[in-house]
Amino acid sequence: MTTSTLDQTVAARLEAGGIRYTSARRAVVAALSRSVGPCSAAELYDEVGGAVPLSSLYRTLNVLEEAGVLVPHFGARSVTRYELADWIAGHHHHVVCTVCGRVEDIDVPEHLEARVGEVVEALAGLVAFSPEDHTLEIEGRCSSCR
Amino acid sequence: MTTSTLDQTVAARLEAGGIRYTSARRAVVAALSRSVGPCSAAELYDEVGGAVPLSSLYRTLNVLEEAGVLVPHFGARSVTRYELADWIAGHHHHVVCTVCGRVEDIDVPEHLEARVGEVVEALAGLVAFSPEDHTLEIEGRCSSCR
DNA sequence: TTCCTTGCAAACGATTTGCATTGGA
DNA sequence: TCCAATGCAAATCGTTTGCAAGGAA
C-alpha cells in the first residue's frame, strides 16, 4: 500500500469515528508504515525526529489503537510495540530474534495460514474457547545474528 | 508431576548450575506449579502470602529464568508473567481471554503440535530465520465470559 | 466560541539496584 | 567460614495524567 493510499484509508477510518487526523497522527502512521516490524514509543520518537514529544506520542498511540488503526504487541520485557492493524497491513505473524531482540513481520502464504487457522480452531475447541484472533511468534536467530 | 518430583527436578537443575535452591525459590516454584497459567510478580507475592518481599521476588524470578526453570510471558501491557519452562511443564500454548484478561494453558495433542511445527519451519524458512521456539496464542472469550 | 489536541511537568506503577545483614553449604 | 541470598529503601524506566495553551471547525 502506498503512503497516500494508506493515509486515505486511515483518514476514512478516523473520520468515521469523528476523530481528527492530525499531523502528529499522520507522522506516527507514516513511521509505522516504513517499519519492518512493530515499534515502541521510544523508537517512534526517534523515527519522527523528536517532532512529537513522548507524552503526545503515547496519547497518539492510544487514540490510534482505540480507533483500530494500530495494534499493540507485547513481545519484550517492559516495552509495548505497535504496528498497523491487520486490516491495513494484512494478517501476518512475527519472528523475534533472541539475540538482537528485533521483531520482524512474516507475511504468511495462504496455504500455511489456513493450516494455522485449523489448528487454532481445534485447540480452542479443546478448552471451550471462542477464538477471535491468534498470534504465532517464532523465536530464534535472525539472519544477521546467525 | 507431583510437587516433590518437581522440586527434585528443579533442585537438580539448579545444583548443576551451582545455584542454591532456597526457600524463597521453592515457594515461587510451588506457587507456579499450582497456577493454571502464567503469574505476575504481584500475583506470586499474594500467592506466597507476602512471605517474599517484592524485590526478592523479582530477583528470584530472574534467577529462575536464567537457570531455565521459568519462562517469561509478555501477554499484557505492563506486566510480565512467568510460568514453568516447557521442559518441566510440557510444551503448551495459551488462550487469552479478551474480556477478563485471564491466560490459560492448553496442552497440545501431538498431532496438532506436529502441524504447528511444520508451519513454523516453513515460515522461518521464508525469512532465513533459525527457529528455536515458538508460541501460539489464541485470543477470544473464555467459557466464563462467553 | 467550543471542543479537541498538544506540550510540559509531575505523578504512577512495575521493576531494578545499592548496601548492610542474614543464612545455607 | 564465606559467599550467595535477602530485605529495605531509594532509584529507574516506561507510561499516564493534570493543566494551561494552541488550533481547527
CA atoms of B23 and B2, how far apart (whole Å): 18
Q: What is the pLDDT of residue A78?
A: 64
The shortest C-alpha distance from B64 to chain A (Å) reads: 16
Q: Is the pLDDT of residue A37 over 90?
A: no
The string of pLDDT tens digits covering residues A70-92 is 888 887 666 788 787 787 778 88
DSSP-assigned letter for residue B109: P
Q: Exposed/middle/buried for B139, CB within 10 Å: 0-12, 13-18, 19+?
A: middle
Q: Is the pLDDT of residue B4 over 90?
A: no
Which residue in B has a C-alpha nearest to residue A76's C-alpha? B74
The stretch A121-142 carries a mean pLDDT of 89
Asked whether the beta carbons of B58 and B45 are under 8 A apart, the reply is no
Q: Does A120 touch chain B (CB under 8 A)?
A: yes
Q: What is the pLDDT of residue B78?
A: 61
B14 CA, D12 C1': Å apart: 30
Q: What is the pLDDT of residue B47?
A: 94
Q: Please name the nucleotide lying closest to B78, CA to C1'.
A: C14
Q: Is A77 within 8 Å of B80 when comparing Cβ atoms? A: yes
Q: Does A111 touch chain B (CB under 8 A)?
A: no
Q: What is the pLDDT of residue B56?
A: 95
The string of pLDDT tens digits covering residues B42-64 is 999 999 999 999 999 999 999 99
What is the distance, to the nearest Å, from the Cα of residue A63 to the centroid of all Cα atoms in its chain?
A: 14
Q: What is the pLDDT of residue A30?
A: 92
Q: What is the pLDDT of residue A86?
A: 84
Name the grid cell of A51.
517532532
Query: Residue A141's CB: how many other CB atoms inside 10 A?
Result: 18
pLDDT above 70 coverage of chain A, percent: 94
How confident is residue B113, by pLDDT bands cut at 50, 70 and 90? very high
Look at B107 and A51; give whichever has higher pLDDT: A51
Q: Is the pLDDT of residue B31 over 80?
A: yes
Asked whether the beta carbons of A84 and A70 are under 8 A apart, the reply is yes
Name the grid cell of A72.
499493540
How confident is residue B79, by pLDDT bands cut at 50, 70 and 90? low
- With contacts defined as CB-CB under 8 Å, which chain B residues touch A122? 112
Q: What is the pLDDT of residue A2?
A: 73
- When CB atoms are compared, the residue of A95, A112, A146 closest to B127 is A95
Instruction: Enumerate domains of chain A plus CATH numbers.
Output: 1-85 (1.10.10.10), 91-146 (3.30.1490.190)
